Chains A and B, each alone.
Chain A
Amino acid sequence: MSAVLAPPGSSGDARGHESSPARLLRVLLTQRSALLLLLLVAVLITFTIASSNNYLTAPYDVGYLSVTLINAVPLVMLGLAELLVITSGRGGIDLSVGAIVSLTSMVFGFAYGQWGWNLWLAVLAAAVFGGLCGAINGVLIAYVGYPALITTLATYYAFSSLALVINDQKPISTAPIQDFYSTARAVPVPLLGDDALRVPLGIVTFLVPTAVLVWLLLARSPYGRRLYAIGTNDVAARWAGIDVRGTRFTAYVLAGVVSGLVAVVTVAQFASARPDAGVSGNGMALPAITIAILGGVAITGGVGRVAGVVLATLLIVWLNAGILLAFPGNAGGQFQLLALGLVLVFAALLNGYTNRRYRGEA
């Protein structure tokens, strides 16, 4: 990207003569996926060594890593939702994804657990309902011109409140919902035998399809080009004849659809449709935004890739998994906060440094 934008003769010339360590540094700093991959390998090696020296309470092996992937399912999906809206630019962000997850969990719980809908119909209903919630954000932000942060803060309040009130704060855990838990279990990988490797089913049924679809949408479809265009410069995009409002609106609707699907995953994981599923504790929105930013999505819009979000999630999930083994009990959860905070601040400072060094921004 920067090589194309750089005026000929300035930084382009210097780059031709740079030494290979300098080149490596530039790739690591400007290609977020490369840096994340390096960090991921570092985390895996560190904990594997710690594990083989018996520093950990349980072995940090491939089996453990694949089981902990269950935590990656909602994170990657919501991270991708944030990728879509943050990339759409003009301060795009969605604080309401966790609240949409809560509210859609309840809707899915009613449809599948109480009204006895067909599973596929109920999943479809969850996606559509999530999309409707996203459409509320989208209309206000793209068409009326509300700032995204404020709109989604307001809808975060509204949706999470409705989710609590709709069933009098009670979770729905009827028989169909409890049986639905079986779809969240870890299943053996075919061809490898029963005991070799167990992968959470949600990876196959929800995570991979969502990631592939979002990737196709962003990297291989006209819509993706439009989204990057409006995120980079929406005035220029408008003069280029792009439907800026419609494109931005769609990003929020898609984020809502993804949140609706996360609701289904969450219901399966807890074997219960909980009214506070997406907002309890720190909520789901803040980790999702953190993942997106760590994955190299520029908060100013127009920059961000699916691979970055997926790698950032793997980094955080496997780092957290290792921390849980290194610090058992309460301390583990606390050190996860420390790790997340440090990684985010570090990544942000690095972004700032990279921009100044390689893109000539003041």
Chain B
Amino acid sequence: MTAPTAARSGASSGGPPSREGTGRVLPYPVTGQEIVLIAVIAALWAVLALTTPAFMTSGSIVPLLVATAPIGMIGIGVTVVIVTGGIDVSVGGAVAVVSVVVARSLVEASIPLPLALLLAVVLGGVLGAVNGLLIAFGRVHAIIITFGTANLFRFVALQVFGGTTVNGIPDTLGVLGRGGAGRTLGIPHSFVITVVIAAAAWYYLRHTAGGRHFYVIGGDAHAARLAGVAVLRRILMAYVLTGLLTGLGACMLLAQGTSTLAPNVGLGLELTVIAAVVIGGTSIMGGRGGVLGTLLGALLVQTVASGVTQLGWPSQLSPLFIGVFILIAVGTDLLRQRTRRTS
């Protein structure tokens, strides 16, 4: 690999790298991976619409969007974390902590909606800060710390559960749920909120200096520090952001559930979120990726899950397809990088 190639690919976040002379510094607004994803999702929806008449009805699309919302929401944070070269496998545990605390507060203190949301976001932020502080200042690889905190969070959640389920959760969070209260003009609120936050994150990551810093750190943390980027503070921010969004995502999951919350809430969620992020074209090595892809990745994962049930196949088959999609998505990205390097 020659030096100019390395310098160019280091700063780009997917899509064709900048070309000398054209003055393009930023990558294209929509990357190739995202266009492919849109096409794949469109094709899947078309096939499903033709084979199962029930798919293109609001009774099927709305739950699909509602289910996509929390994965996409948490995925926005995890995208930023992975862009910095880190990873967070503790979001499932964090969801368990936040949802059980919020659920018990709803049941026992009947707290109103704004307070519940505030509680969830603050609590999520605190859990994210624990990860961020340990990773940034303990200088330990993120996967080790978040494996550890995943266990710790799950312990805290089980302690709050106290050995049973939380029953009789009131419908305070209904505006985020799948029911009638969760929709305006047929569009689920939770999905709209996720899209709005994703749009804000997209702008922040792409068009502000602070946002670009995350990519610089993922490209080369040492070079970033020498260039004056506050590396540790940015890394801490990425995990706190993930925590805040996980808190919000936990509220959505809580609202989508029944009035009973079981202790296995959030189990395996971290892997679903990471799947959505990498299908969306974010490189696990850091330095490349974006939230638009993550949102599409979450939509694809949920479309597969929904499609498998709609076709009457056993629902246990959907992870198989998700696995295959992960391999295809990462494989096309590898191919594109390789052709870019040789051209």
Contact = CB atoms under 8 A, between A and B. Distances in A.
Partners in one complex: yes
User: Considering residues A147, A168, A334, which has the most beta carbons from chain B within 10 angstroms of its beta carbon?
Assistant: A334
B284 interface: yes
A293 B142 CA distance: 13
Given A161-B319, A162-B320, A281-B267, A341 B151 contact: yes
A356 B89 CA distance: 26
Interface residues of A, number: 50
B327 A146 contact: yes
B267 A293 contact: no
Contacts of A356: 139
A348 B148 contact: yes
Contacts of A342: 148, 152
B79 to A, nearest CB: 14
B203 interface: no
B47 interface: no
B248 interface: no
Interface string A286-300: 100110010000011
Nearest to B327: A154
Contact of B152 (A147, A293, A299, A338): A338
Contact of B330 (A95, A147, A349): A147
Contacts of B267: 281-282
A161 B318 contact: yes
B155 A341 contact: yes
B148 A153 contact: no
A158 B140 contact: no
A295 to B, nearest CB: 12
Nearest to A345: B148
Contacts of A164: 314, 316
Contact of B134 (A157, A160, A333, A349): A349
Interface string A137-157: 000100011110111011111
Given A149-B284, A340-B151, A157 B323 contact: yes
B183 interface: no
B147 A290 contact: yes
B140 A348 contact: yes
Interface string B71-98: 0000000000000000101000000000
A105 B149 CA distance: 30
Contacts of B87: 149
Contacts of A331: 163
A64 B140 CA distance: 36
Contacts of A160: 319
Contacts of A290: 147-148, 151
Contact of A334 (B89, B143, B158, B318): B158
User: Considering residues B149, B271, B285, B320, which has the most beta carbons from chain A within 10 angstroms of its beta carbon?
Assistant: B320
A236 interface: no
A153 B145 contact: no
B316 A161 contact: yes
A301 to B, nearest CB: 11
Contacts of B330: 146-147, 150-151, 154
A150 B330 CA distance: 8
Contact of A299 (B134, B141, B151): B141
A342 B140 CA distance: 14
Given A156-B271, A157-B275, A164-B316, A335 B155 contact: yes
A282 B326 CA distance: 22
B274 A153 contact: yes
User: Considering residues A95, A157, A160, A164, which has the most beta carbons from chain B within 10 angstroms of its beta carbon?
Assistant: A157
Given A147-B285, A157-B275, A282-B154, 4 more contacts: A154-B322, A160-B319, A342-B152, A348-B140
28 contacts: A140-B327, A146-B331, A149-B284, A150-B326, A150-B330, A157-B322, A158-B320, A164-B316, A165-B317, A165-B320, A168-B314, A281-B267, A282-B154, A286-B89, A289-B147, A290-B151, A293-B144, A299-B141, A329-B163, A333-B158, A335-B155, A337-B152, A338-B151, A345-B149, A348-B144, A349-B134, A349-B138, A356-B139
In the complex, the 4 A-B pairs of residues with the closest C-beta atoms, listed nearest first: A341-B151, A157-B323, A158-B323, A341-B152
